[in-house]
Amino acid sequence: MESSNPTSLLSLVYASPQLGRLCATYAEQILQKSTALMGHQIQNLMLTTLLIHWGGPRNVDGSEEFFKSNLDTEEKRRIVVGRVDFLHILKLLGGLDNDVEELVQIYATNAFTKASQIDNPGVIVEKVILSPTEHHRIARTLWYLKLYNAVFHIRTEEIGGLQHVRSRLISRNFFDRLCPWEVDEMLGIYRYMDGTSFNPFECAWCDSKFLGFHKYNFQREVSPYFSYGSWASETKCAQNPPKTWSDLPASNLPSIGWALLRGAQRQDGFFLSTYNYMVRDLGLIFWDEKRLATWDLLDFPSWMFMKRQLTRRSCLISEAKRFKQAEAPLRGKEQNLIRWTRQSVPCIYEDWLHYERCSIIYELQSGYEQDWLTS
């Protein structure tokens, strides 16, 4: 049992009620061993997220000390507090752990597949097996997002009420701790999730109203730490991690992919869409040196060549959008009627035509975003 993470431990307890009663007797020891398997940093992020689910911190003015004392410690933190039921705690921990692990696999599989198909789009990609450092980088990013999401979406009233200034204080205390590569990692995965059908780090239904009557938006909160709206500013973010961890030393430093990407950005600038694609979709800032070597991406010229390839692809997409803009008004009613009859969802012709025109306008507006950014 001591070698089982919270998700596996919860499955074992469900499978054997007798085992569950035994675990409840030694709840603190078992939960300590189970969460420690992830390393100190991930364990702290998990237990701090759990603590916020339970209502802390209640004083936003103490958020700086709260983050420091809970995220930077290597001392054991008590998990079973008071008369809280062991199974209740395990369900919360198991749920959090399962959510993050599922997202790790979803993101890693998608990024690995796209990166492997850059030169050969038709290749059959094998299942990705993450190294400990790669898994840690992606999991740490997801835990940071989950922790920040818990602060602003779960304990809003207890932490700061509806006061805009106080919400900015806790946001600043959180982001001031992060290095530029950690902020880049967070926004890269957030943007990937935001492009899916469901973003687990946004909340459309809760009472998160720190920014007036609009729902909390992660990208707006992190924007003060970015340059040109695309990459983290090395002058605005922390220069070094607030705590170095001995159990996985490589996780204290940026990946070689992040360093090479920054070098390419400084020398020649980037199309915003190209930079986002390399970070968000290919996940190049998460991979280890060995994996980048298999894609021949361990030197600066190779990165510049990939950048030119992706920039050319972006230009072709923009040209296709402009062609659609010119083609749409010339399309006759007969062609529109044919397209309408092929729709999977039945609707009247006028409704479909209105939707079609709105879709074209939206695509064009999205394509007209500022695309060329230089260092």
pLDDT digit string (tens) for 42-78?
999 999 988 887 765 555 557 788 888 889 988 888 8
Q: pLDDT tens across 201-245, in order? A: 765 544 444 444 344 567 777 888 887 667 888 889 998 999 999
Q: Is the pLDDT of residue 161 over 50?
A: no
Confidence tier at 374 by pLDDT (50, 70, 90): very low
Phi, psi (5° rounding) for residue 194? Answer: -70, -20
Q: d(Cα 138, Cα 357) in Å, to the nearest integer?
A: 39
Average the pLDDT over each of 90-99, 134-143, 158-167, 294-303 and give the range with the smallest value: 158-167
Confidence tier at 318 by pLDDT (50, 70, 90): low
Q: d(Cα 175, Cα 224) in Å, to the nearest integer?
A: 10
Q: pLDDT tens across 72-108, in order? A: 988 888 888 767 788 888 888 999 999 999 999 999 9
Verdict on whether the full-model pTM lies above 0.85 = no
pLDDT: which is higher, 281 or 369: 281
231-232 and 226-227 strand pairing: antiparallel
- Are 28 and 78 a contacting pair, CB within 8 Å? yes
In this prediction, residue 141 carries a pLDDT of 96
Q: d(Cα 109, Cα 122) in Å, to the nearest integer?
A: 16
Q: pLDDT tens across 251-278, in order? A: 899 999 998 888 877 776 666 777 788 8
Confidence tier at 15 by pLDDT (50, 70, 90): confident
Average the pLDDT over each of 106-115, 165-174, 210-219, 300-309 and give the range with the smallest value: 210-219
For residue 296, is it left (φ>0), alpha (ψ between -120 and 50) or beta? left
Q: In the chain, where are the structural domains located?
A: 6-253
Residue 184, Cβ density class (10 Å: 0-12 exposed, 13-18 middle, ≥19 buried): buried
- Are 291 and 134 a contacting pair, CB within 8 Å? yes
Q: Which residues contact 154 (CB under 8 A, 6 or more apart)?
A: 52, 53, 206
Q: d(Cα 76, Cα 81) in Å, to the nearest integer?
A: 13
Nearest to 261 by CA among 230, 238, 236: 230
Nearest to 147 by CA among 228, 209, 18, 57: 57
Confidence tier at 312 by pLDDT (50, 70, 90): low
Residue with the two structure tokens 């959180």: 174
Q: d(Cα 370, Cα 231) in Å, to the nearest integer?
A: 14
Residue burial 246-265, b: 16+ Cβ < 10 Å; e: rest: eebebbeebbbbbebbbebb
In this prediction, residue 285 carries a pLDDT of 94
3-state DSSP helix/strand/coil percent for the chain, to nearest 5? 65, 0, 35
E runs forming strands in the chain:
226-227, 231-232, 270-271, 372-373
- Are 311 and 135 a contacting pair, CB within 8 Å? no
Q: Which residues contact 322 (CB under 8 A, 6 or more apart)?
A: 367
